Amino acid sequence: MARRLLGVLLFWLGSIPAWATMDIHVVALFKDRAVVMVDGKRHILRTGEASPEGVKLVSADSAGAVFEYRGKRLERQLDGRVRAAVKKRDTGDDVLVYRDSAGMFLTVGSINGLPVKFLVDTGATSVAMNSGQARRLGIDFHVDGDPTYVSTASDVVKAYRVKLDIVKVGSIQLRNVTGVVLEGAQPTEVLLGMTYLSRVEIINKGDRLILRRKY
């Protein structure tokens, strides 16, 4: 009897398609591009590209993404998951940022509609970027910025205080966010500092941060 039950159990488990247990988590969405966690591993996929696990991005825009895995198509919205073929509720207000192998919280968002790679830094008083990053984003800090000086880990450098029209991470978009542009090549990543973070709720889960709209 026990052998028969074991055989039935093994048959039932074997009948579950592989895609049903695949864990897909959408971190950020852009036109024809998506940042996705596949079984805990972070990938940036463009339309037509597949992750090492075989999850292919078919299409993506700000409303959602379509993936293909082993012949099955999965439609997901931001912060949605697929696990055991059960669709979880998507509030649309939470953004998950995962810790990378170096212990940093990196995510993808946008400033004034242009894509940006952010380093979440609660120790930074403002959203901060170097002068090259500002030029790429079309920020004329010499004309529109207010000259100031900021302290970095190694020096005091000249900077410009600017007003960013829109800063967006995941589904959370904030307007009129104060930023600073530092002369030179530092910081190497745009810092998502407290002028943005103070306006959202931050929940630290150890391996990930949850950013939640306050109101």
pLDDT digits (tens, 9 = 90+) for 39-86: 778 888 888 999 888 889 998 877 778 888 888 888 877 654 443 333
| 9 and 85 together in one domain | yes
Element counts in the chain: helices (H) and strands (E): 4, 18
In-domain check, residue 100:
no
Contact (Cβ atoms closer than 8 angstroms) between residue 64 and residue 41: no
Give residue 116's pLDDT band: very low, low, confident or very high (50, 70, 90): very high
Instruction: Name the domain boundary from 61, 89, 117.
Output: 89
| 111 and 85 together in one domain | no
| 114 and 82 together in one domain | no
For residue 28, the enclosing domain spans 2-89
Alpha-carbon distance values, 91 to 30, 78, 95, 123, 212 (Å): 19, 9, 10, 28, 10
- Indicate the number of domains in the chain: 2
Place of tokens 């895609």: 19
| 111 and 164 together in one domain | yes
Place of tokens 């010499």: 142
Cα separation, 56 vs 68, in Å, equals: 5
pTM: 0.59
